[in-house]
Amino acid sequence: MSEAAIDTSGMKVTDEVVIEIQHMHKWYGEFHVLKNVNLTVNRGERIVICGPSGSGKSTMIRCINRLEEHQQGHILVDGIELTNDLKNIDAIRREVGMVFQHFNLFPHLTVLENCTLAPIWVRQTPKKDAEEQAMHFLSKVKIPDQAHKYPGQLSGGQQQRVAIARSLCMNPRIMLFDEPTSALDPEMISEVLDTMIELAQEGMTMLCVTHEMGFARKVANRVIFMDGGEIIEQNEPEEFFTNPQSERTKLFLSQILNH
């Protein structure tokens, strides 16, 4: 990732609300993980979520595509409410792509098969079209030449880029990133972040749990700080980093920035 400022002309936040979380609570057994979370995301927003471990940031974005179930409150994605109705869950999952910390590629399938699986089986795309599209996105993440290898033969950075391409093949309207660079060797982080920046420049709505503050400054239009299952503070990146409001945020920032 170069230090130069990036072209932000493609990043436009619209008025259209794509995710709405209202008074959301979640418990793991007796443990209250998410407490009264309220969040509205407009199309085109790039939101970075940070906070200490155990603060509920991953759990929150995993609630958005129902990998975790919330017990109280409402979550609306693209106007569809997440309930126990499988039809709604399926509809939302088709529109929301997700990238995981540990990539979660399917090790028994080639890179290309990883990318075409969901389009073929979920969207009923003909195999040939799905492969063409997969090659398009693999070129975009700059690894078309690895298409016929198995994930186990790639480096961590390459695997994570495949995972991003795999999500993009479903043409999602929203992308969730759950600590996408935390499991990578330092020299591979930037290739993944570059891919994510490119995605942001094309106007993708992104929610990203990460501690890459350089990425947050460059790309995010909003940074959210969570602690103890609550959203403590949210602001534009410049304001957030230079002028944090709460003591908790100040402490957190001093810990991750000054070492």
Nearer to another protein, 62 or 222 (CB): 62
> What CA–CA distance (Å, rounded) separates 52 from 25?
19
> What CA–CA distance (Å, rounded) separates 93 from 66?
8
Nearer to another protein, 151 or 229 (CB): 151
Please enumerate in sequence order all residues whose Cβ is within 8 A of that of 16, keeping only pairs 6 or more positions apart, or say none: 42, 43
Q: For the chain, what percentages of helix, strand and coil (3-state, to nearest 5) are there?
A: 40, 25, 35
Q: Pull the structure tokens for residue 50.
A: 């940070």
Judged by CB under 8 A, the residue of 11, 18, 34, 105 near another protein is: 105
Q: Is 142 in the site for another protein (CB under 8 A)?
A: no
> What CA–CA distance (Å, rounded) separates 54 from 52?
6
Q: Is 173 in the site for another protein (CB under 8 A)?
A: no
Stretch that binds another protein, among 24-32, 104-112, 194-202, 216-224 (CB under 8 A): 104-112
Pairing between β-strand 222-227 and β-strand 80-81 as defined by DSSP bridges: unpaired
DSSP SS3 for 252: helix
Judged by CB under 8 A, the residue of 51, 151, 157, 237 near another protein is: 151
Q: Is 118 in the site for another protein (CB under 8 A)?
A: yes
Stretch that binds another protein, among 15-23, 99-107, 190-198, 223-231 (CB under 8 A): 99-107
Stretch that binds another protein, among 44-52, 60-68, 184-192, 218-226 (CB under 8 A): 60-68
| Chain position carrying tokens 């495949």 | 162
Interactions with another protein, residue window 197-256 (CB under 8 A): none
Stretch that binds another protein, among 103-111, 140-148, 200-208, 247-255 (CB under 8 A): 103-111
Nearer to another protein, 39 or 115 (CB): 115
Stretch that binds another protein, among 31-39, 162-170, 196-204, 250-258 (CB under 8 A): 162-170
Judged by CB under 8 A, the residue of 87, 152, 247, 259 near another protein is: 152
Nearer to another protein, 41 or 118 (CB): 118
Buried b (16+ CB within 10 A) or exposed e, 161-190: bbbbbbbbbbebebbbbbbbbeebeeebbb
Q: Is the dihedral of CA 205, 211, 215, 220 positive or negative?
A: positive
Total count of residues recorded for the chain: 259
List, in sequence order, every residue forming a beta bridge with 39; answer none if it has no partner: 21
Least separation in angstroms between residue 81's CB and another protein is 17
Judged by CB under 8 A, the residue of 12, 23, 108, 250 near another protein is: 108
H or E stretch including 195? helix 186-201
Query: Where does this chain bind another protein (CB under 8 A)?
Result: 65-67, 90, 93-94, 96-98, 100, 102-108, 117-118, 121-122, 149-153, 159, 166-167, 170
